[in-house]
Amino acid sequence: MTASTVAKVQTSLGSMSYAEYGAGPPMVLLHSLLTDRHAFDRVAANLPGRVIAVDLPGFGETSPTQPSIDSFAALISSGVDAIRGDNRPVTVMGNGLGAFVALAMAVADEERVDRLILVGCGRTFPESAKPAFAGMIDAVASGGMAAVTATALRRIFTEEYLADHPEEVEERTRILANTNPEAFMTACRALQQVDFSDVAGDVRTPTLIVVGEDDQATPPDMARALHDSLPNSALVILPGVAHAPQIQEPEAFVDAIRDGLEHE
């Protein structure tokens, strides 16, 4: 689907670039560390309302910020406030990094967010998973984005999907190559520190948690722990997909979102 608007808005915290589709109540889409806002292109036309696909800090033309999820959330919240046109709360959907940012937006101000859709998320990363971020930081610092491409592809998709979709490998490789290395490393540092363990129980926002059964980046156990902590949440585990179900299985992903929203 072609965006009706591709624009950039300036706020007191910096600029935010975005694309939007359709009309109606706003739904904000936040991409993962390993993709960009185009990761939602296959599903945007089938999502309800005014769909706003945002570039996270340091990605696209959005300003960089400090290496913390709270800083990411503050910049995106200021940008959303500037473009939404009224004070009505918005639905926020995030994938991976974007899901943590979405949750941070609700933690900071629940009146701003009326629904959360968290795709590949958790309260925090287990200690055993954190060295992966340090490894990616070191690899990018010494070898640029090409040094993490193979690792990234296997965190986004299943091996079977990669083998059957060489065109997707080519496209994702191109996108990763165009990612700002400093922005990538900043986001990795933010994810190393993220921890909602002490505050997740206070979030009353209706939340749909979606995770791929084969997600290696944010495994189902992380989603289950988050579901157990969020008092107003539902959990959907999609079979046969990994970290980016909106790319790998867009129809199943949209069906899960619709079903989840209808049964709130």
CA dihedral sign of residues 249, 76, 49, 201: positive
Q: How far apart are CA 38 and CA 53, in angstroms?
A: 8
Where are the chain's structural domains? 5-125+195-262
Once rounded to an integer, what is the mean pLDDT over residues 89-106? 97
pLDDT of 75: 98
pLDDT of 121: 98
| Strand, coil or helix: 114 | strand
Q: What would the DSSP string read from start to end of 41-82?
A: TTTGGGSSSEEEEEPPTTSTTPPP--SSHHHHHHHHHHHHHH
pLDDT of 6: 83
Tokens standing for 197?
A: 């363990």
pLDDT tens track for 173-186: 999 999 999 999 99
Tokens standing for 249?
A: 């299985």
Once rounded to an integer, what is the mean pLDDT over residues 128-134? 95
Q: From 3.40.50.1820, 3.30.1120.10, 3.40.250.10, 3.40.50.150, which CATH number describes the 5-125+195-262 domain?
A: 3.40.50.1820
pLDDT classification of 38: cutoffs 50, 70, 90: very high
pLDDT tens track for 182-214: 999 999 999 999 999 999 999 999 999 999 999
pLDDT of 2: 57
| Strand, coil or helix: 11 | strand
